[in-house]
Structure 1
Amino acid sequence: MAKTITCIYEDEYQLYSLIDMHELKEYPSLLVQVFSGMADRDSLLKLQNIIKKMVPLATVIGCSASGEIFEGNITENKTIISFTVFDKTEVKSTLLHQESFKDSFDMGKRLAQQIVDFDTKVLIIFPAGDKVDSQSLLEGIIEGNPQLTVSGGIAGNTGLSPEPYSIAGEELTSQGVVGVALQSKQLFAQVQSHIIWQEIGKVFTVTKSNGDIIYSLDKKKPLQILKHYLGEGFIKDISNSRFEFPFTISHKDGKVSLFIIDILKNGAIRVSRNVSEGDKLTFSYPNIEATIDQTLQGFRQIAKKPVETIFVYNSLSRKRFARDFSEKELMMLQSIAPANGFFTNGEVLAGNEGTAQHGGLSLTYLSLSEQSLEKRENRGGLSFKYSMPEQLKTLASLTRLMDSSQEDFQQLHENLTISEQYHQSLFNNHTDIVYSTDLQGYFTNVNPAFDDMFGYRHDEITGASSFKIVLSEDIPRVRMHFFRAIKGKEQYYNATLISKSGEMNLFQLKNIPITVNGECVGIYVIGKNMTEQKKIEEKITELANFDHDTGLPNRMRFTEQLEQMLQRAKKKKRILAVLSIDIDRFKLINDSLGHFAGDMILKEIAFRIEKVLPSGSYIGRFGGDKFTVILTKEAQVDEVMKAAKSILLEISKPVHHESQEFFVTASIGVSFYPEDGTDEHELLKNADIATNRSKDKGGNQITFFSTEMNEQALNRLELESYLRKALQKNEFYLMFQPLIDLESGKIFGSEALIRWNHPKLGLVSPADFIPLAEETGIIQEIGRWVLRTACMQNKKWQELGNNQLAVAVNVSAYQFQQPGFMNDVKQALSESKLDPQYLTLELTESTMLTNIDYSIPIMRALQKLGVKVSIDDFGTGYSSLSYLKDLPINTLKIDRSFINNLRVDTYDIAIVKAIITMGHGLEVKVVAEGVETKEQIELLKELNCHYAQGFYIHKPLKITEFEKGLKEKAEIK
């Protein structure tokens, strides 16, 4: 059983009588607590010695007090001594001086190490002195003892001594702590504290701190904050008022109270626990009604438990704030069990959940019992009620008013916070730059996108002139829009802004006035980075107007420029020349080297042309291998000829690509304004016509336009139009020229020759329409028709009894190079049912050798199919013997130019003989075409030529005529 006997100390005799009457001297486990509101240092030491002599086995602790609690009653300027006898509990105490430790946390750890062990149920502590951080002290104690119950209070000042004291045994300290540990497995202990704080007012942010000292709140000295919100009276009486309006701070265990311990000379404040920069603080005040309800509920709960004694460590501020309730609640506690203690300058407690709290304005009490739950005392009939006096009712009404006002304020704050969050979300999350300025143009705020773009720190740019980031030449225009915006009108404009690193970007800016109560107080600026978009626009313009490979103006851009130059020439009555430049046979380079190499060579040619052009010239590329030039100065015929010759000379210089040397020539056509045309389209057309004439002459030529050329061009255009429809209108037909075997003199086959009979033009020479068909691509369709028609006709003749009759068909270079050529041959044979061995395809040397890697596989595929392959016009092309030996051919056809002049004792007979001999050596048949005399026939027989054709044998025949000849079985003798 824990039994407490208490007295108000009068003298030694009275104390001795009390001890003797209750036989306290005999108890081995006795805790003596001394709380004095009148003793000075010497008086306390003297009293300690008296008690020690009277009860030498007792553990004595205590402190100076700002009011005493004796059996549930409040006393003032008295000395209270309580004796608590324990049957099953061991008592152990210690006293520590702050100066012996680096800080209060360390002192708390040492205190726990000295007197706390596994069986310790309760630790009672009395800190003393302003150098002791009670919060840190508590945290040090429970660091290794999270389940420990701690209770106690901070020593107060007395009327006789300016310094507070805590005592233990025969020692005392004015800067330290005393502690007593109650150790027992049978001890029931519970610490409770009753106070409900209500937050009020705005939230402050700690902007500078160190440990438990706050140097600034919202960048202001804390002293300024306290004066503004709590007044001078609170500050002057800080030693007593500091617990009445503490701060509330968020902590890992929830929101806790933060008491002001001291105000420093520099305007900083020392508080009851460590804080960090960025912590949020709010003033709080006691909620009277809620605290009363909580206290009464706590009494009802504790009354149900086996309580034998109650140690009360009440708040001095609670006594000052609500003395009537303090008196009544102490009496209620006394009705439960003997309640003794003192009024503290701050309560300290820790429950069994590992939380430490330095309190204020709270009723804190420690209830103890050594009896079991089964033996607890029946306290039926106890009533815990309280009727507030008028004064306290007024305070409670004021509390409700403050609470309601705080709710209204909180609602308004939440609305403002939401509005601010909307604003900040728009401001901070905007992907474009956003900044605000004052009326002088100085930055007041910038968003994160601005920081990222310009590289300035927020504090570095705030307060600086917004014009510092503007390109100097744009500043006057930006200022103009700025002042217009101040007058209330939104502004839209573009300007170049410069980052801290010097990088420049084009922005599309919008200025929006910031208006408060109808008055402009600043400017918002929203900026969209247009740099990439500008680059894209420029790139699109470049792609639309300039050639990708050479960078020269394209046809559209060149034509626009020519139109502008013509307008100037008309006004100034000047001559202007247009040069059309076409690279000769450039397709050979593309086909042999590939288009990439061709593009590289064209870049080089473009550079060369530009290099030699006279001033005032303008050059463009019209695609492919065609360039066009405008000459505006000295555009007389002789000067233009001089410029054109310089271009040809420069182009003709060797071109090097991958260690190979190439020679390139060009054809140039020239038209003049106003002689050859008065608008850009006419001049370009006539220059093209002149270029084509240069190419017809063999290239590497300069041709000036004439009206005759235009007429020829029109005729050519008309012929092309007719040619495209000739196949559909069945205007083509075939003629067949017999082929004879010179050894037997018999017809063994024919060569199919196409003819065109136009209803308006009449018979059109193949020499006129075949090159045009190749140039336009129509030749593929015509060639397919010739091949199919010739095969079908030859098959008909075979079915008439000419079983061994063969037919030869000419294949154009364009047709041969098409991917579907082999399919065309197979389809013609399939449709006609002609045996492939009776079909010979005649190819020119240039056709085969243009792309030798492509040609040889196709020729081999034809031979594998059974079709014979012949080289037509042999001797007029490359005549490369190194290639000839590798070509898969069946026949060599000697060009008619060698046969026409075939006479005895001429150079031609030597050439023909060499070709025939070579044919025999290569095991291929030799055909002589263009035979016109008997002498030529005889010479060819002597030279062992295999076959012949020509007018001497027979001119090309229509189908009916050829059939008649077949019936007569004509022979050449």
Structure 2
Amino acid sequence: MQKFSFTSIRQRVLVLFLAVTIAITFLSIAITGYLTRLQVNSLVQQNAFCAVRTHVQNITSWRQERMQEIQQLANTPLLKTMDWDQIEPFLQRQIRDLADYYLIFFLAEPNGNYHTSLKRSAGNLSDRSYFPAALNGRTTISEPLISRSTGEKSIVIATPVTNKEETETIGVLGLSISLAEIHRELGALKMEFPNSQAFIVDKNGYFVTHPDTNVIMQANIAEQHPPWEAALLAKEGSITYQGEKGRYRGYFAEIPGSDSWRLVVQIPTEYINEPVRRLVIYLALLAAGFIIITVWIGSWFSATITDPIVELSGVLKRGSEGDLTVRAQVQSYDEIGETGAAFNRMMETIGTMTYYDPLTGLPNRQSFLAHLKNTLTGEGITLLALLAIRDFSELKTLSGPEITDQALLAVAESLQSFQNEDAFIARIGDGEFGLIIPFNARGVLKLIDELEHFLSRPFHVESCNWQVRLYGGAAISEQSDLDSEAFYQQAQAALYEAELAKEQQIKLFNPTTQAAIRNRVRFQTEIRSALEKDELTLFYQPIIDLRKRQVVGKEALIRWHHPKRGLLLPADFLPAAEQGGLIEDIGEYVMWKACLHHNAWRAEHDNLGWVAVNISANQFRSPNFPALIQSIFAKCAGSDFTLHIEITEDAMLAPTNAVLDNLKELRRMGVSLAIDDFGTAYSSLEYIVRYPMEILKIDRAFIEPLDKNTRTAGLVRSVVAMGENLSMQVVAEGVERKEQLRLLLDMGCAGAQGFYFSPPVPWQKYPQTALRLNEKLQQSLFRTVENI
């Protein structure tokens, strides 16, 4: 359905006002016309029935008068003589004095022979239906007939002529009346209703009187107009029907004393509808004038209502376009005035929020970038420095928002004390600050030294005795045509380099760094595409139980079949994936693939042991991680799939409730937890005791010099002993030489993995590799790398 749009609220109000007014107007016209039509129909029907009944009474009275007149004539002494020579002149005088519709008098003998006022011995009428009734002493009116004397369509009023003693009927006196002439008399009925007609029909529907004499006694009203067939069953009523010249409403009533004759008054429906039509035209003209007045009033009304809204809309539009100086003119105390006042207060607040950081009170990023753009348009050299709190995400995770805010306030306060009058300082990000410092060329080295000295000292958060350190990236506007966006990107590239180079607190922009960042982003895009195209695959490396001398599990290791660079190891792409936020997607991918591979293997092999998957610290801390594991188990329902999760010590450095809940939920699901690369991070014996860890994997950095360095051997021996005492299974990673294995066996190490046993192999080849390795493990103790 099409929707109408309006360019202004004034149009909307005006159109709505006019639409309602026009709708009410036309509804009023329709209702008035309908009610008027009902009223006119009712009045016409009342008047028509009244006229029909009146004329039926008149016809009845006329009929009775004619019957009385002929009875009086029949009772005259002259008529009782039955002497036609005397009677003839008398009846001829009578017929001349009567109305034109009287045709002839006739006098019949009992045998039927009769004389008329026009002709003697006119014939015999004993076959007429009215003759026997008259001989029996009853005055009667005949059915319509053709007069034998005149040849006209007529009716006959017949009455008996008795002897002087009135004891015997000696003849019949009759009066023939023209039906055509009777219709002319009925023509007076139409005077009340223009273009109306009146006529009489008999009980069978044949016309007794009609304007067209040809249809009298010949045509049937029911045949011409079928609706009349059912209507004539009633003694009185009305019916609407279609005639040759239009639609008519016929009103009818039975004539008392007749043989079910009915008087019909035919009125054109145009006569009924015309008053309604004229009324509707008058009302439409009145409505048109009313609508014109409504348009004028509506325009004034809509302008009165919408002008303040339109004005306020313009103010709001300017504000939305960034004009924070615009204010609404408050000229009333109604809702619009309150809205304008609220808008002004809002703009004051937005002005502060738009250009200033609500926590530190420093200018924000928008204000900073605007100031940078203005600074570059002037002359001179500008130093742009971006400073960030090192490990800010860990600070937020470990300390919470209150301590984080205190740290940000401490840094902001220290920056404001930076001794340079022209420095513009702002908070431009979550844990980032920016400095814009104009200077001359000779002071650049001094300024860099001051910044480096400023960043070298830690900032103390007194409430928690926490130290916060900063690092920074700086760029110098050496080009006169350098725009602010490119200048800002240079400083960001330097900041990124400083984040990686932890030994230096500040880095100056280096063009090669920016190119490296572009390459890194491009490489991260390729990694995302590899996930979507299923270019990643899994290799598996067996894990050996040294005491049982058999393969008990394997570690899933990711590989990438790069379309151009060939097979890439994890170290070639996982750091970029972690920086690009893809490491969790890769961890989920590995677990799903391991599940699918296990399902594929179990069709041919009974048990290939558990599978270990490395999970990043961020993914392990996620509250949704247990649900992910649960969905993987559901996928592998019915299999012997056993999962070990390997996490580094970094994941244990945030003793939050989420980490503890994840550990408990994973243990409830039967997932074994292993500490991977033990000893390479901030090792702490506290979390080993506190958390339900089952496996301790010694990093290859300690296994490599195991047979060459006694201090390393002593450290590994201590770790193995500690794991045994804590009921933890200790697995040595990176076993590649026979002497390393012998020392581990002497130390009582429970498990090992490395190239000495098998390199990582593609998942399709792992079952055969594991079975073959089990056979060799059972045959002899490990002799050389080549023999395995």
The TM-score range, normalised by the shorter chain, is 0.5 to 0.7
Amino acid at match of 1:647: F
Match of 2:370 in 1: 560
Report the secondary structure of 1:885's partner residue.
Answer: helix
Task: Say if 1:856 and 1:888, in contact at 8 Å, map to a contact too.
Answer: no
Match of 1:806 in 2: 610
CA separation in 1, counterparts of 2:338 and 2:595? 72
Match of 1:656 in 2: 462
Match of 1:632 in 2: 438
CA separation in 1, counterparts of 2:330 and 2:666? 71
The structural deviation recorded for 1:623 is: 1.8
* Alignment partner of 1:546 is 2:347: no
Match of 1:623 in 2: 429
Amino acid at match of 1:867: V
Could you tell me the TM-score, scaled by structure 2's length? 0.54
**In the alignment, which of 633, 641, 644 is matched to residue 829 of structure 1?**
633
Q: Deviations over 1:629-680 (max 9, x none)?
A: 1121246541232232233135x132212xx211111221111112598111
Amino acid at match of 1:595: P
The structural deviation recorded for 1:875 is: 0.9
Match of 1:601 in 2: 407
**In the alignment, which of 612, 616, 620 is matched to residue 418 of structure 2?**
612
Task: Identify if the C-alpha distance between structure 1 residues 795 and 533 changes in structure 2 by more than 3 Å, giving closer, same or farther.
Answer: closer
Task: Say if 1:737 and 1:957, in contact at 8 Å, map to a contact too.
Answer: yes
Match of 1:490 in 2: none
The structural deviation recorded for 1:529 is: 12
Task: Say if 1:612 and 1:646, in contact at 8 Å, map to a contact too.
Answer: no
Report the secondary structure of 1:542's partner residue.
Answer: helix
Match of 2:391 in 1: 585
The structural deviation recorded for 1:912 is: 0.7
Structure 1 stretch displaced more, 777-786 or 711-720: 777-786
Task: Identify if the C-alpha distance between structure 1 residues 618 and 840 changes in structure 2 by more than 3 Å, giving closer, same or farther.
Answer: same
Match of 1:781 in 2: 585
**In the alignment, which of 497, 521, 545 is matched to residue 693 of structure 1?**
497
Q: Deviations over 1:190-241 (max 9, x none)?
A: xxxxxxxxxxxxxxxxxxxxxxxxxxxxxxxxxxxxxxxxxxxxxxxxxxxx
Higher percent of residues as strand: 1
Report the secondary structure of 1:589's partner residue.
Answer: helix
CA separation in 2, counterparts of 1:529 and 1:852? 46
Task: Say if 2:383 and 2:439, in contact at 8 Å, map to a contact too.
Answer: no
The structural deviation recorded for 1:874 is: 0.8
CA separation in 1, counterparts of 2:687 and 2:763? 38
Task: Identify if the C-alpha distance between structure 1 residues 683 and 925 changes in structure 2 by more than 3 Å, giving closer, same or farther.
Answer: same
The structural deviation recorded for 1:760 is: 3.6
Q: Deviations over 1:63-96 (max 9, x none)?
A: xxxxxxxxxxxxxxxxxxxxxxxxxxxxxxxxxx
Task: Identify if the C-alpha distance between structure 1 residues 528 and 856 changes in structure 2 by more than 3 Å, giving closer, same or farther.
Answer: closer
Task: Identify if the C-alpha distance between structure 1 residues 548 and 766 changes in structure 2 by more than 3 Å, giving closer, same or farther.
Answer: farther
CA separation in 1, counterparts of 2:595 and 2:613? 9
Match of 1:643 in 2: 450
Q: Deviations over 1:916-956 (max 9, x none)?
A: 11100110100111112111111111111111112222221
Task: Identify if the C-alpha distance between structure 1 residues 530 and 633 changes in structure 2 by more than 3 Å, giving closer, same or farther.
Answer: farther
Match of 2:767 in 1: 963
CA separation in 1, counterparts of 2:540 and 2:362? 52
The structural deviation recorded for 1:588 is: 1.7
Q: Deviations over 1:878-915 (max 9, x none)?
A: 21112211110110011111111112552111111111
The structural deviation recorded for 1:841 is: 0.4
CA separation in 2, counterparts of 1:936 and 1:529? 80
The structural deviation recorded for 1:765 is: 4.0
The structural deviation recorded for 1:731 is: 1.3
CA separation in 2, counterparts of 1:756 and 1:732? 5
Task: Say if 1:676 and 1:686, in contact at 8 Å, map to a contact too.
Answer: no
Report the secondary structure of 1:960's partner residue.
Answer: coil
Task: Identify if the C-alpha distance between structure 1 residues 509 and 908 changes in structure 2 by more than 3 Å, giving closer, same or farther.
Answer: closer
**In the alignment, which of 743, 764, 771 is matched to residue 939 of structure 1?**
743
The structural deviation recorded for 1:693 is: 1.2
Q: Percent identity?
A: 32
Task: Identify if the C-alpha distance between structure 1 residues 726 and 935 changes in structure 2 by more than 3 Å, giving closer, same or farther.
Answer: same
CA separation in 2, counterparts of 1:760 and 1:804? 34
CA separation in 1, counterparts of 2:504 and 2:640? 44
Match of 1:952 in 2: 756
Match of 2:620 in 1: 816
Task: Say if 1:669 and 1:694, in contact at 8 Å, map to a contact too.
Answer: yes
Report the secondary structure of 2:645's partner residue.
Answer: strand
CA separation in 2, counterparts of 1:795 and 1:531? 68
Task: Identify if the C-alpha distance between structure 1 residues 784 and 528 changes in structure 2 by more than 3 Å, giving closer, same or farther.
Answer: closer
Amino acid at match of 1:554: N
Task: Say if 2:623 and 2:662, in contact at 8 Å, map to a contact too.
Answer: no
CA separation in 2, counterparts of 1:718 and 1:732? 17
* Alignment partner of 1:705 is 2:483: no
Task: Identify if the C-alpha distance between structure 1 residues 811 and 529 changes in structure 2 by more than 3 Å, giving closer, same or farther.
Answer: closer
CA separation in 1, counterparts of 2:339 and 2:608? 82
Task: Identify if the C-alpha distance between structure 1 residues 884 and 626 changes in structure 2 by more than 3 Å, giving closer, same or farther.
Answer: same
**In the alignment, which of 624, 636, 644 is matched to residue 840 of structure 1?**
644
The structural deviation recorded for 1:865 is: 0.9
Ranges in structure 1 where 5+ consecutive residues have no aligned partner: 1-505, 511-526
Q: Deviations over 1:545-579 (max 9, x none)?
A: 222222222222211110100001xxx2x221111
Q: Deviations over 1:23-74 (max 9, x none)?
A: xxxxxxxxxxxxxxxxxxxxxxxxxxxxxxxxxxxxxxxxxxxxxxxxxxxx
Match of 2:518 in 1: 714
Task: Say if 1:843 and 1:872, in contact at 8 Å, map to a contact too.
Answer: yes
The structural deviation recorded for 1:624 is: 1.0
Task: Say if 1:795 and 1:833, in contact at 8 Å, map to a contact too.
Answer: no
Task: Say if 2:452 and 2:505, in contact at 8 Å, map to a contact too.
Answer: no
The structural deviation recorded for 1:534 is: 4.4
Task: Say if 1:777 and 1:814, in contact at 8 Å, map to a contact too.
Answer: no
Task: Identify if the C-alpha distance between structure 1 residues 848 and 834 changes in structure 2 by more than 3 Å, giving closer, same or farther.
Answer: farther
Task: Identify if the C-alpha distance between structure 1 residues 969 and 765 changes in structure 2 by more than 3 Å, giving closer, same or farther.
Answer: closer
Report the secondary structure of 2:411's partner residue.
Answer: helix
Report the secondary structure of 1:728's partner residue.
Answer: helix
**In the alignment, which of 653, 657, 665 is matched to residue 469 of structure 2?**
665
Match of 1:680 in 2: 484
Amino acid at match of 1:632: P
Amino acid at match of 1:561: H
Amino acid at match of 2:672: K
CA separation in 2, counterparts of 1:725 and 1:915? 42
Q: Deviations over 1:809-854 (max 9, x none)?
A: 0011121122211111111121123667721000111112223432
Task: Identify if the C-alpha distance between structure 1 residues 644 and 701 changes in structure 2 by more than 3 Å, giving closer, same or farther.
Answer: same
Match of 2:677 in 1: 873
Aligned residues: 448
Higher percent of residues as helix: 2
Amino acid at match of 2:383: A
Report the secondary structure of 1:780's partner residue.
Answer: helix
Task: Say if 1:654 and 1:664, in contact at 8 Å, map to a contact too.
Answer: yes
Task: Say if 2:679 and 2:699, in contact at 8 Å, map to a contact too.
Answer: yes
Match of 1:305 in 2: none
Amino acid at match of 1:545: Y
Q: Report 1:386-405 matches (<5 A).
A: none
CA separation in 1, counterparts of 2:658 and 2:480? 45
Report the secondary structure of 2:547's partner residue.
Answer: coil
Report the secondary structure of 1:892's partner residue.
Answer: strand
The structural deviation recorded for 1:747 is: 1.6
**In the alignment, which of 679, 690, 705 is matched to residue 886 of structure 1?**
690
Task: Say if 2:645 and 2:672, in contact at 8 Å, map to a contact too.
Answer: yes
Amino acid at match of 2:540: F
